Amino acid sequence: MTGGSLVAAGMMGMNITVYGFNVLAAHLLLPREFGALTALFGILLVGSVTSLGLQAVTARRLAVDPQLEDEIVSATARVTVLVASCVGLLVATSSIVLTPALKLDSYWPVLLCGVALVPLTIMGAESGVAQGTSRWGSLTTIYLGNGIGRLAGGTIALLVSPTVTSAMVGIAIGSWLPAIAGAKLLLGRRHAANGEPVSSRPLVREALLSTHALLAYFVLSNMDSLIARNRFDVHESGLYASGLILAKAALFFPQFVSVVLFPDLARANTNQARLRAVALVTGFGTIAVIATAALPRVALVLVGGSKYDEITGRLWLFALAGSFLAVVHLLVFDALARHAHGIVPMIWVAVGAVIASAYGLNVGISGLALTIAVVAAALASVVFFFAPATRTDHPTAT
């Protein structure tokens, strides 16, 4: 895993800073306000699916066709400008529907989500260039910029005014830091240096397929925050949001494995790389669940403190759910690396199962967390044991 330590440190730094901001926000805001902010984070994560789609397709193409680096980067730069603008506008427009659905007092928070997603989408394309060319130092800088931008921007905004809208203003401003940090990876190569420019159409098509797969996954991994905000009262949704801090920690920490191994997965024709990656992620998840179950009071401090005391005995469920979602995350990126999109219908079936359970069985806080854990475990098992382990084709970058 050449570069693994550097990328792991960068992603850990990003996740710690993002996690730190979540904890700070939990302390500065009332539970009902923090529940609203967590729902907005869910929108940002789902909206970032396009960013990750661009990252995946760019990294895969650069990994399998390194001789066409300049042409691929040139095409990526052209596509990124259009995609980032469309994503920001689409999410901002959705404020008409999402504001009442999330019980927000103003349209501004969702509008600001759209503003923040413009630089975050650009960041995804830059990350794909760094990942596909094994420029781990540049990728680490982008990841750290993302975490520091959110922590610094969001914290300053909350200290000025402890409101949900203020927090989103700070996040929207801070989201430009990673885009600026990785700008050199896209700039300066807008025209192909080694021949005819690569057509943008195949890139857009593959990006759409990857985005669809990632959209399904991010809906699955973030829908419980929106369900909790919609179904529970504002106090209970705040308690659930506190537990989600731990779930996201268990989900995000092992993601460096899929980032570093992605180029290898894209080139591999055997199951060995996938087995190694799944074993690593499963090991991290096991440690997270055991530690949370053994030290629930310590975990409570990390998710907001005594005012969330009611959730203490159930925190291990959130660690379990996050750990299973981490395995699913790895398997989704393994499928993208192999250009195999048969996993997508399976994810949407899992989404339907969560909705049916959450609303049909009238589950509470524990029930919703357990539902996510069970569905994610079932999905990971089906994908791992029944999905093909080899690349379905070997598309070129043209």
Q: What is the pLDDT of residue 188?
A: 62
Tens digits of per-residue pLDDT, 228-269? Answer: 888 887 788 888 888 888 888 889 888 888 887 787 777 766
In a domain, 391, yes or no: no
pLDDT digits (tens, 9 = 90+) for 57-82: 999 889 888 888 888 898 899 899 89
Question: What is the model's pLDDT at position 160?
Answer: 95
Residue 244 structural domain: 4-386
Among 43-52, 104-113, 303-312, the range scoring the smallest mean pLDDT is 303-312
Indicate the pLDDT class of residue 189, thresholds 50, 70 and 90: low
Contact status, residue 315 vs residue 373, Cβ threshold 8 Å:
no
Q: How would you class 39 by CB atoms within 10 Å of its CB: exposed for 0-12, middle for 13-18, buried for 19 or more? A: buried
192: pLDDT strictly greater than 50: no
DSSP 2: T
For residue 19, the model assigns a pLDDT of 80
Task: Check pLDDT > 80 for residue 327.
Answer: yes
Looking at the predicted structure, is the pLDDT value of residue 157 above 80? yes
Residue 397 has pLDDT above 60, yes or no: no
Estimate the crossing angle of helix 365-386 against helix 234-252, to 10 degrees.
30
CB contact at 8 A, 116 and 171:
yes
Q: Would the pLDDT of 210 be above 70?
A: yes
User: Using CA atoms, how far apart are residues 239 and 280, in angstroms rounded to an integer?
Assistant: 30
What pLDDT was estimated at residue 396? Answer: 46
Burial class (CB in 10 A: 0-12, 13-18, 19+), 289: buried
Residue 79 belongs to a domain: yes
- Residue 162 included in any domain: yes
Q: Which pTM was predicted? A: 0.75
Lowest-confidence range among 151-155, 188-192, 310-314?
188-192
pLDDT average, residue stretch 324-332: 93
CA-to-CA dists, residue 31 to 52, 229, 304, 391, angstroms: 30, 11, 10, 46
pLDDT of residue 207: 81
- Residues 12, 20: contact at Cβ < 8 Å? no
Q: Which residues contact 58 (CB under 8 A, 6 or more apart)?
A: 72, 73, 76, 125, 128, 129, 131, 132
Domain presence at residue 397: no
Q: Give pLDDT, residue 398.
A: 44
394, part of any domain: no
Percentage of the chain exceeding pLDDT 70: 92
pLDDT of 338 > 80? The answer is no
Residue 84, domain member (yes or no): yes
Model confidence pLDDT, tens digit, residues 357-369: 988 888 888 889 9
Q: Which of 80-89, 96-105, 208-217, 258-267 has the lowest mean pLDDT?
A: 258-267
pLDDT band at 199 (very low <50, low <70, confident <90, very high): low
**Phi/psi at 194 (5° precision):** -115, 25
Q: Count of domains in the chain?
A: 1
> Is residue 393 in some structural domain?
no
**Structure confidence at residue 127 (pLDDT):** 95
The pLDDT assigned to 269 comes to 63
Domain assignment of residue 398, yes or no:
no
Minimal CA–CA distance to 376: which of 342, 356, 349? 349
Whole-number mean pLDDT of the chain?
A: 86
- The whole-number pLDDT of residue 296 equals 83
Q: Is 193 exposed, middle or buried (0-12, 13-18, 19+ CB in 10 A)?
A: exposed
Q: What is the pLDDT of residue 337?
A: 81
